[in-house]
Amino acid sequence: RSNLRKLSMACPALPTCGLALSEAERSMPGILDELEAEMRKLGLEDEALSVRMTGCPNGCARPYQSDIGIVGRSGDKYMLFVGGHVRGDRLNFELKDLVPRRDIVHFVRVLLVHFKRDRRAGESFGDFCHRLGQEKCQALIRDFQI
């Protein structure tokens, strides 16, 4: 198993949880498959990257303290967060809201390309996004066309 899969978690969400607005546990494997493929293409397959996904803002899988947090908003739309740390000593920040499920990995890939090129020695993806900050990360994906 990859580091990505070892560090990732999703809540049960639909249809188990009455609070869920979107899929999580059943969508997560496909998202991880896509993300692993992109990371391999970029030569980042050995990175320790945490992805946490929930079907609603309650955050049962702790999406707000991961490198990448995916929070269900409505049907197949999600709020995307980056820059946290699984130790819980730093929360992530909103990257983009109302992202269709099919586009999640595309936006993350934009940041991974910059991470590969501009990271500091020993810097994790969450640390990199935190160092750049919310405005800079949002600017990097703003003009990205899918």
pLDDT given at position 48: 94
What are 43-64's pLDDT values in tens digits?
Answer: 999 999 999 999 999 999 999 9
* pTM for this entry: 0.96
For the chain, which residues score pLDDT lower than 70? 145-146
**In 3D, which of 88, 38, 36 has the Cα closest to residue 67?**
88
pLDDT given at position 145: 64
Tell me the three-class secondary structure of the chain, residue by residue: CCHHHHCCEECCCCCCCCCCCECCCCCHHHHHHHHHHHHHHCCCCCCCCCEEEECCCCCCCCHHHCCEEEEEEEECEEEEEECCECCCCECCEEEEEEEEHHHHHHHHHHHHHHHHHHCCCCCCHHHHHHHHCHHHHHHHHHCCCC
**In 3D, which of 62, 66, 53 has the Cα closest to residue 104?**
53
